[in-house]
Amino acid sequence: MKYNEVKKIMETGDLILFSGQYEMSKLVEKLEECPWSHVAMVVKFDEISEPFLWESTSLTNLKDVLFDDHKKGPKLVELYKRLKSYGNDVTPYKPPIYSFRKLNLKRTSEMLDDLYKLFYNVYGIPNPGELKMIWEVFEGKIFNLPSKKDNYTCSELIAESYIKMGLLGTKKVINSYMPKDFSSYGNISLLKGSFDKEVIIEL
């Protein structure tokens, strides 16, 4: 589906799934047996035509539009710029694959306000190093042990965001989630709403 067509139906809470050529991306995809190694959330403001992307990543090439800086960790960036630049620092460059997953849900002002508060509450918390990320996911998936929330992986941030929006329960710790869980390869249980199957985005 062409990006300009997908953009017309995007709403806050929809998901973007990424494949990647980074070494860590390929490792995650292999471990998950799934093509997706990064997940992020669409954020759409009524007064702005272009959508934004709420994500946690170690990449610093794009400006956080809320705080006007380039820190690692949770950030709000321009969606199209992320799609056009993701992986372009890998040689040889191979265009990633992206998909869009629609969240069917009636958004409320309370739900969105709780999400917006999270933008500020997690500001400055870093993205974890590779070994720490693997260990915390292992603890979460195998033992359901919570991480200290002193860093956020991409999946932890989306899980935390959905919890704040009242869409996801807290029975599972946020560090038990991986990008696969938010795709049709996974089996995530929402408290409200439902997902469509993801569709590939053509830039």
Q: Which pLDDT tens digit goes with each residue over 127-170?
A: 898 889 989 999 999 999 999 889 999 999 999 999 999 999 99
H or E stretch at 105: none
Report the CATH number that the domain containing residue 43 is assigned in CATH. 3.90.1720.10
CA 87 distance to own-chain centroid: 16
The domain tally of the chain equals 1
**In angstroms, what CA-CA distances link 177 with 93, 167, 188, 195?**
28, 15, 9, 17
Q: Whole-model pTM?
A: 0.96
Beta bridge partners of 39: 17
Which residue range is the domain that position 152 belongs to?
Answer: 3-201
Q: Which pLDDT tens digit goes with each residue over 54-112?
A: 999 999 999 999 999 999 999 999 999 999 999 999 988 889 999 999 999 999 999 99
